Structure 1
Amino acid sequence: MIRARYLLSVSTAELWHAYCCDMAALLSCTDEVLDGLDELRAAGWRVGVATNGAVDIQWAKLGATGIADHVDGAFVSEEADARKPDVRHFALAAARCGGALEDGGWMVGDNPVNDVGGGHAAGLRTIWLDNGRPWDPRVPAPDHTVADVSGAIDHLLQMEADHVSTAS
């Protein structure tokens, strides 16, 4: 419909590819976050991405930001028609990282229902990225709240450090 409306000569596939690339180009990830992901992995954490969306766009974003190179795996909902907060989504993401929900773990995200609620339903502990927003008291609370991704990474690394010092 867009091609016809604007009399575009490029194919639908070319338009979609350009859209995916342009969407991905709008995003960035700080070196601090990428380094933090590496620190988590070096400390023994399996780090993954669980995201809803179209495969082409989400993988383009993961590649353009560099995140794909700093995680153990990623799962995009369209790959198996399993969207967060569906527990199956979290199980497939864990499998992409070489793990299983039964191993336990954490879900870090900014959506109270999809990330926190879905994470709880999957048996995971949760960290909510509040981005300056108040929590809706009608929704079950996350296990921990931070302002941003760096805060979540710091929290998980501190937990690891506390665990190591307690075990010593």
Structure 2
Amino acid sequence: MMQAIACTHDLGHPPFGHGGEVALNYCMRGAGGFEGNGQTLRILSRLEKMSKMAGSNLTRETMLGVLKYPVSYTTAANPDIMPALRPSTSGTPILDRKASKPPKCYLDTENDVVEWLLETLEASDREAFQTFNQIEGKHTRRGTSPSPAALWTWPTTSASAFMISKTCSPCGLSRGLTLKSM
């Protein structure tokens, strides 16, 4: 599971890093915007052709591990901040990076997927996980809520703790998670 999460967590990020994400958010401003982590969720849950109705057909635990920002685009986006071009440029139009930076969220088209992912959480855990901070003049940000891993009931062993660490060969990423028995 950890290897699957490590190898898929950035799947939806465009070329050119955050600059590419800002440019795509500007281009998609009339169609729900763009956010790389939200696109990862879309690819894994819908666009991948492993299964007809469930995309890559990953387990709930794996998808929950990939869900980085549990707030929808509509909820996270500040309506006063619209992707735009810089007004005072001569010649080639230049993106206003500050105005075009997307909120950290999942895309509204994946609301049903996120509902399915979170349906096994207790109501209080779900509320804590989806808590966000409203900051004047900015998009909302995820609050100090626990991570999905902290909310999920993980299997434990008789040992007091163990470490899972996997390296994804294709992308070279290494992810580790320490699980402590309760």
Q: TM-score interval w.r.t. the shorter chain?
A: under 0.3
Tell me the TM-score normalised to structure 1 length: 0.26
- Higher share in helix: 1
